[in-house]
């Protein structure tokens, strides 16, 4: 392997380790986000329930007031009833009193239904509140795990980063940029060896995506110290005697 490919190769081994650290951190970040999203969903549901409870309560208050007003009217009408001079007058007032009584009975049952509904909604809200709290607890746990992981891997990450910078010095900015781009696309695995598909035939493949590689490319890899890419997956190919006929 030539100098450039050799430097890239060393860079690659560092990049893979760095990618693993990064991925572990990302997985933990995703847990924080997930529980945060769930907590917000429960919060929205809770607000919605509280809104319905408020509306119910306003209706209960209005209907109770209406009932009280009617009852007060009925008290006055009963006084008038006792003062009625004719039978006709008496039955007219009595009819009004009875109608009011029937209306109030309907109002009362509506109020009771609403109160029962409020009780059920309050129970549901309490449950949603608990679920929200549970998710908030999980966010805190996930955040602690993320911070612990970052703290634990920090020295190793710094060491690898300085190692990466050291290897990068041996490469041109263009080669480095290309390498970084490919590494990013393949989780740090920018370089892969070509492998021989059949021991008796000169057939090779990219070991990253298993697609065939032309003989020209394989020959070039053996004779030139330059970056050649798999036309299918875009990884940087290299030729290594030790791995070429491994399978
Ligand atoms: Zn490939």
Question: Does residue 21 register a pLDDT over 90?
Answer: yes
Give distance in angstroms: CA of 137 to centre of ligand 1: 44
Mark whether 126 and 203 lie in a shared domain: no
Contacts 24+ apart (CB under 8 A), 220-227: 221/194, 224/2, 225/1, 225/2, 225/3, 225/4, 225/5, 226/2, 226/4, 226/5, 227/4, 227/5, 227/8, 227/175, 227/178, 227/179
Give distance in angstroms: CA of 226 to centre of ligand 1: 17
Q: Tell me the residue range of the domain where 125 lies.
A: 3-168
Q: Look at the pTM and tell me if it is higher than 0.75.
A: no
Q: How big is the chain by its Cα radius of gyration, in Å?
A: 40
Mark whether 61 and 151 lie in a shared domain: yes
Query: Over the chain, what is the mean pLDDT?
Result: 93
- Length of the chain in terms of residues written: 247
Mark whether 143 and 196 lie in a shared domain: no
* Domain assignment present for 180: no
CATH number of the domain at 11, please.
1.10.287.1490
Mark whether 45 and 100 lie in a shared domain: yes
Mark whether 93 and 56 lie in a shared domain: yes
Give distance in angstroms: CA of 205 to centre of ligand 1: 8
Q: What percent of the chain has pLDDT over 70?
A: 98
Give distance in angstroms: CA of 203 to centre of ligand 1: 14
* Domain assignment present for 139: yes
* Domain assignment present for 184: no
Q: What is the pLDDT of residue 244?
A: 72
Mark whether 79 and 136 lie in a shared domain: yes
Give distance in angstroms: CA of 25 to centre of ligand 1: 27
Give distance in angstroms: CA of 197 to centre of ligand 1: 14
Give distance in angstroms: CA of 185 to centre of ligand 1: 12
Give distance in angstroms: CA of 4 to centre of ligand 1: 20
Mark whether 81 and 157 lie in a shared domain: yes
Structurally, the chain folds into a number of domains equal to 2
Mark whether 17 and 91 lie in a shared domain: yes
* Domain assignment present for 20: yes
Mark whether 144 and 207 lie in a shared domain: no
Mark whether 13 and 127 lie in a shared domain: yes
Q: What is the pLDDT of residue 186?
A: 92
33-63 per-position pLDDT tens digit: 999 999 999 999 999 999 999 999 999 999 9
Tell me the average pLDDT across 161-175.
Answer: 92
Give distance in angstroms: CA of 204 to centre of ligand 1: 11
Mark whether 164 and 215 lie in a shared domain: no
Give distance in angstroms: CA of 13 to centre of ligand 1: 18
Partnered with residue 229 across adjacent β-strands are: 236
Give distance in angstroms: CA of 206 to centre of ligand 1: 5
């Amino acid at each position: 392997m030539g100098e450039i490919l050799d430097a890239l190769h060393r860079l690659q081994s560092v990049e893979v380790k760095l990618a693993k650290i990064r991925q572990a951190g990302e997985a933990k970040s995703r847990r924080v986000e997930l529980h945060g999203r769930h907590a917000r969903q429960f919060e929205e549901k809770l607000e919605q329930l509280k809104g319905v409870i408020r509306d119910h309560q306003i209706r209960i208050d209005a209907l109770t007031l209406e009932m009280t007003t009617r009852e007060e009217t009925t008290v006055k009408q009963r006084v008038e009833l006792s003062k009625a001079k004719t039978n006709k007058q008496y039955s007219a007032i009595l009819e009004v009193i009875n109608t009011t009584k029937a209306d109030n009975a309907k109002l009362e049952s509506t109020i009771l239904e609403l109160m029962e509904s409020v009780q059920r909604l309050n129970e549901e809200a309490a449950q949603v509140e608990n679920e929200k709290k549970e998710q908030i607890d999980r966010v805190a746990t996930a955040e602690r795990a993320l911070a612990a992981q970052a703290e634990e891997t920090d020295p190793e990450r710094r060491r690898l980063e300085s190692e990466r910078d050291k290897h990068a010095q041996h490469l041109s900015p263009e080669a480095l940029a290309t390498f970084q781009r490919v590494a990013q696309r393949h989780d740090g695995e920018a370089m892969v060896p070509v492998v021989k598909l059949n021991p008796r035939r000169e057939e090779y493949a990219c070991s990253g995506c298993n697609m065939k590689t032309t003989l020209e490319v394989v020959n070039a890899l053996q004779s030139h110290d330059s970056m050649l890419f798999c036309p299918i997956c875009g990884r940087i190919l290299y030729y290594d005697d030790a791995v070429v006929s491994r399978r």
